[in-house]
């Protein structure tokens, strides 16, 4: 497919470009930035997209997604998860290992990659589990998973409580140049908790999860990353204390990066006042002070990227008592409009926001994507930042309709998502 994207505002933080530029895509690559387009426009084999007044940027890269396959296909499949990603402007997703079977060996990794190649419409990068069966005891075959295509290891959803095991995991990961993604949660401190611990949880009579359960583990993992000199990436930062610990660690030169999710920088724990299980997520949505600290962290660059922690569940699973509902928010299809609020509120410039959705995540997983450099894979998104949309979960491509943002009016509409030179959204 040949595509000419004409006259859009091209924002590519990897090249410090923010100007009106035309982009030409051929053979799956960014081919050129043509000045005159008359000749190209005459060629009937070229699809011309008029992007004037729109933003053209590298396709977004989501470092935290649950695709659920294998094992939980009733919640999501690689195909539906990829379609949701494309609808959200994401051209690459990094999928977590808490599937069934767990992605703790090369054969599961190969299965995911094969399915992604045959049924997925965006690039899929699997994350291997740190320990076998995510049991926290015995290390997985990290080298074999790396060889099969895993780009990181993580304990997401089921943290490794044994610090010695975590230390060894970091040492192995370092040998293969893999980042270790930490879901920072002390399971003893969070045990039985279903929401943020504080005034709201007391009022609702629900068991709380203290900020300390995250902060204790962020501190531990920073300490271990310093000891092992391994790249540590902290997933879904939710507390002010975690931001503080990150700030201090970065200042000392520890190799640590972090992500924040749209729900953590948009909502406070008041979102569960109506016992809305769609706002039940782990780590929980916290206080206003925590939310403000996350925004500050994004603004200062302490938090490097925005990731969704897309965690689809079925309606039946979520339509139960708050205590019993699974944790998780379906996040791929609301990420951009929620993130654009950060620009509207003056927390980030549009360039900084796009950097946190493209170049920074690509750097963390050492990918050649997240850029519109000539010769790069043609992963591109075109969006209208000003177009008002109303979130409608019934229109989600994802099987997971579990969003606390249903009915919200927001600005920002994805117009086209292009992966490897092919238009994958709209289809």
Q: Which is nearer to ligand DOR, 157 or 179 (CB)?
A: 157
Interaction pattern, residues 179-218, with ligand DOR; x per rule: CB under 6 A: ----x-----------------------------------
Q: Which stretch binds ligand DOR (CB under 6 A): 86-94, 321-329, 392-400, 412-420?
A: 321-329
Strand partners of residue 377: 29
Is residue 287 close enough to count as binding ligand DOR by CB under 6 A? Answer: no
Among 21, 66, 263, 341, binds ligand DOR (CB under 6 A): 66
Residue 281 binds ligand DOR (CB under 6 A): yes
Please list every residue from 341 through 400 that binds ligand DOR, using CB under 6 A.
Answer: none
Complex with ligand DOR: residue 98 or 230, whichever CB lies closer:
98
Collapsing DSSP states into helix, strand and coil, what is residue 379? coil
Residue corresponding to tokens 């997401």: 156
102 binds ligand DOR (CB under 6 A): no
* Interaction of residue 404 with ligand DOR, rule CB under 6 A: no
Of 289, 305, 295, 313, whose CA–CA distance to 404 is shortest? 313
Environment class of 105 (CB within 10 Å of its CB; exposed 0-12, middle 13-18, buried 19+): middle
The 135-174 contact track toward ligand DOR, x by CB under 6 A, reads ---------------------xx-----------------
Cβ 285 to ligand DOR, closest distance in Å?
A: 10
The nearest distance, CB 165 to ligand DOR, in angstroms, is 19
The DSSP code sequence of 51-76 is: -TTSEEEEPEEEEEE---TTT-TTT-
Rg of the chain over CA atoms, in angstroms? 21
Query: Residue 100 and residue 98: Cα distance in Å, rounded?
Result: 7
Does 261 help bind ligand DOR (rule: CB under 6 A)? no
The residues near 278 (Cβ < 8 Å, ≥ 6 apart) are 318, 329, 402, 403, 404, 406
Quick check: 318 binds ligand DOR (CB under 6 A)?
no
- DSSP assigned state of 235: -
> What string marks each residue from 324 to 343 as x (binds ligand DOR by CB under 6 A) or -?
--xxx---------------
Q: Is 98 in the site for ligand DOR (CB under 6 A)?
A: yes
CB of 101 vs ligand DOR, minimal distance in Å: 15
Q: Which is nearer to ligand DOR, 210 or 326 (CB)?
A: 326
Of the pair 182, 367, the CB lying nearest ligand DOR is at: 182
Active-site residue, from 104, 156, 304, 309: 309
Please indicate whether residue 309 is annotated as part of the active site. Answer: yes
Q: What is the DSSP letter of 375?
A: T
Cα 242 to chain centroid distance, Å, stands at: 18
DSSP label at residue 150: -
Q: Residue 329 carries which DSSP code? A: B
Question: What is the CA 38 to chain-centroid distance, rounded?
Answer: 39
Sign of CA dihedral 46, 21, 379, 28: positive
Q: Which tokens is 143 given?
A: 């080298």
Interface contacts to ligand DOR, rule CB under 6 A: 66, 98, 156-157, 183, 281-282, 311, 326-328
């Amino acid at each position: 497919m040949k595509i000419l994207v004409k006259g859009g505002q091209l924002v590519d933080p990897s090249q410090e470009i923010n100007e009106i530029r035309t982009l030409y895509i051929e053979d799956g690559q960014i081919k050129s930035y043509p000045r005159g387009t008359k000749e190209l426009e005459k060629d009937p084999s070229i699809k011309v997209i008029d992007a004037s007044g729109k933003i053209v940027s590298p396709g977004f890269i989501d470092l935290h997604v649950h695709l659920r396959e294998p094992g939980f296909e009733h919640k999501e499949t690689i195909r539906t998860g990829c379609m949701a990603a494309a609808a959200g402007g994401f051209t690459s997703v990094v999928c977590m290992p808490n599937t069934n079977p767990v992605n703790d060996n090369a054969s599961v990794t190969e299965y995911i990659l094969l399915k992604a190649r045959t049924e997925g419409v965006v690039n899929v990068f699997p994350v291997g589990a740190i320990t076998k069966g995510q049991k926290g005891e015995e290390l997985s075959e990290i080298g074999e998973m790396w060889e099969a295509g895993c780009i990181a290891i993580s304990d997401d959803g089921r943290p490794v409580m044994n610090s010695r095991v975590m230390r060894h995991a970091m040492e192995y990961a370092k040998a293969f140049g893999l980042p270790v993604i930490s879901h920072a949660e002390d399971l003893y401190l969070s045990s039985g908790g279903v929401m943020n611990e504080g005034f709201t949880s007391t009022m609702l009579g629900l068991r709380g999860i203290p900020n300390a359960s995250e902060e204790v583990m962020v501190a531990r993992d920073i300490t271990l990353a310093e000891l092992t000199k391994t790249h540590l990436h902290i997933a879904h930062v939710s507390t002010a204390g975690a931001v503080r610990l990150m700030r201090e660690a970065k200042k000392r030169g520890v190799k640590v990066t972090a992500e924040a999710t749209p729900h953590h920088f948009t909502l406070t724990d008041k979102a569960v006042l109506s016992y809305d299980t769609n706002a039940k997520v782990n780590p929980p949505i916290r206080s206003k002070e925590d939310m403000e600290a996350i925004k500050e962290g994004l603004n200062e660059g302490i938090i490097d990227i925005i990731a969704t922690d897309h965690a689809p569940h079925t309606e039946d699973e979520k339509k139960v008592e708050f205590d019993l509902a699974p944790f998780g928010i379906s996040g791929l299809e609301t990420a951009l409009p929620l993130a654009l609020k950060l620009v509207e509120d003056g927390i980030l410039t549009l360039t900084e926001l796009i950097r946190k959705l493209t170049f920074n995540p690509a750097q963390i997983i050492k990918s050649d994507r997240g850029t519109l450099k000539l010769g790069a894979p043609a992963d591109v998104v075109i969006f209208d930042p000003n177009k008002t949309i109303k979130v409608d979960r019934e229109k989600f491509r994802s099987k997971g309709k579990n969003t606390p943002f249903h009915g919200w009016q927001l600005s920002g509409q994805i117009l086209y998502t292009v992966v490897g030179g092919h238009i994958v959204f709209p289809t």
